[in-house]
Chains A and B, each alone.
Chain A
Amino acid sequence: MATPNTPLWEVFIRSRNGLAHKHVGSLHASDATMALQAARDIYTRRGEGLSIWVVPSTAITASDPAEKGMMFEPAESKIYRHPTFYEVPEEVGHM
């Protein structure tokens, strides 16, 4: 008999250094409590973090890679959003 499927969860961990929760991988668990415990065992065996989030994978809506041109083009053409676009005389020093 085929094994029945167990739900998939995405795991996010916040490390010691105060950065945001970061996606580290995924795992299978029947509920949120077990997902948290499994995430502790699978992804934090060497002190990788101080906080864990688990999110059901089905709750994630992803952007479509086929549309990435249209999706991200508006940001690519706006070079004036970067500090290097502007000229500051050398005499002014670091800015």
Chain B
Amino acid sequence: MYTQALNTAETDDRGLEDAAKDAAKAAQFQARIDAEERIEPNDWMPAAYRKTLTRQISQHAHSEIVGMLPEGNWITRAPTLRRKAALLAKVQDECGHGLYLYAAAETLGSSREELVDAMLAGKAKYSSIFNYPTLTWADIGTIGWLVDGAAIMNQIPLCRCSYGPYARAMIRVCKEESFHQRQGYEIMLTLCRGSDEQKAMAQDALDRWWWPVLMMFGPPDATSQHSDTSTKWKIKRFSNDELRQKFVDATVPQAQYLGLTIPDPGMTQDADGHWRYSEIDWTEFKQVLAGNGPCNRDRMAARRKAHDEGAWVREAATAYAAKRARRQTAQAAE
């Protein structure tokens, strides 16, 4: 989105005069944020704002792309042609989401190639949820219902994020997500109305995905490192725990309708209607983030293989474009 021509690099060695100017600019910047103005790519922004957003948007993009793997795993084995077409369309959407988000991240000054290379080198993170395996067809239903459901919860407030290109990308993404969640819930509904084995398969998938899905909202507010400045900059509008609670409250009745049991025997409903869940096992979350989840190595290997196997296509397309450009210049000279 937009040309980067006006984006100037921040220089490191600055005099005191520059520092004072920056403080004034920073105050002006915060005033714009407080007035709910959108920040656009060529506007002045603090280096830390640029860095935080580059990290967050590129991680989000990587998550969409890696997120295609667990579901792509079931495309050839979908139970009917209707399910197969829907799953294919969903996975294609996720690819589109990744591309909108890379484009938004690039407006901050990093190239697509740098961002992708950082992910392939293992230097950039993606959502921990995609490091879990999809063992049965019910996992595809559960992912649509819960993983996309959690993503929607997280993404709706991002449509009002202070950074214009990110907010606009999120609006497109949110429009497309609703189909993802509904197709997932429909799969679950079909299984739960089916044979005992099918219902047991649905329950087993919920049992395995429930806790990892709650972890998608990130560490509890008390320990989260990025929240304060992100809130001040209106990148984040709700805390991790607030979003997690909203998600749980929305999901419990949906599980009840399916006749499934949420794998949390300690769960209780408050007088004010909120569902209180038990303590989350954050050591598991940290382990998966550190690279020790069930599928971390597989996911990285699959991404690297796809990138390497696509190298000849990129080379051929570049060579062809260069040849055509040379021919055009030669024809113009005749």
A residues adjacent to B (C-beta < 8 A): 2-6, 8, 10, 23, 25-31, 34, 41-42, 45-46, 57-58, 60-62, 64-66
Residue of B nearest to A3 (CB): B113
Taking a contact as CB atoms under 8 Å apart, the answer to whether A45 and B42 are in contact is no
Answer whether A60 and B3 are a contact pair too, CB < 8 Å, given A3-B117, A28-B112, A66-B44: yes
Instruction: Say yes or no: is B40 at the interface (Cβ < 8 Å to chain A).
Output: yes
Min C-beta distance of A29 to chain B, whole Å:
8
Partner of B1 from A26, A28, A31, A64 at Cβ < 8 Å: A26
Q: Is the interface of B mostly helix, strand, loop or mixed?
A: helix
Taking a contact as CB atoms under 8 Å apart, the answer to whether A27 and B99 are in contact is yes
Of B1, B96, B324, most A-chain CB atoms within 10 Å: B1
Taking a contact as CB atoms under 8 Å apart, the answer to whether B318 and A6 are in contact is yes
Instruction: Say yes or no: is B317 at the interface (Cβ < 8 Å to chain A).
Output: yes
| A–B pairs, 20, beta carbons within 8 Å | A3-B116, A4-B113, A4-B318, A5-B111, A6-B314, A6-B318, A8-B106, A25-B1, A25-B168, A25-B172, A30-B317, A30-B321, A31-B317, A31-B320, A42-B99, A60-B2, A61-B5, A62-B2, A62-B5, A62-B42
Besides A30-B314, A45-B92, A58-B3, 19 new A-B residue pairs in contact (Cβ under 8 A), listed by A number: A2-B113, A3-B116, A3-B117, A6-B113, A6-B314, A28-B112, A30-B317, A31-B320, A31-B324, A34-B317, A41-B92, A41-B96, A42-B100, A45-B89, A45-B96, A57-B4, A62-B3, A64-B6, A64-B42
B residues adjacent to A (C-beta < 8 A): 1-6, 40, 42-44, 89, 92-93, 96, 99-100, 103, 106, 111-114, 116-117, 168-169, 172, 176, 307, 314, 317-318, 320-321, 324
Residue of A nearest to B325 (CB): A31
Q: How many A-B pairs with Cβ below 8 Å? A: 79
Taking a contact as CB atoms under 8 Å apart, the answer to whether A5 and B113 are in contact is yes
CB neighbours of B106 from chain A (8 A): 8, 26
CB neighbours of A2 from chain B (8 A): 113-114, 117
Taking a contact as CB atoms under 8 Å apart, the answer to whether A10 and B1 are in contact is yes
CB neighbours of B92 from chain A (8 A): 41, 45
Residue of A nearest to B1 (CB): A26
Min C-beta distance of B164 to chain A, whole Å:
11
CB neighbours of A23 from chain B (8 A): 1
Min C-beta distance of A14 to chain B, whole Å:
17
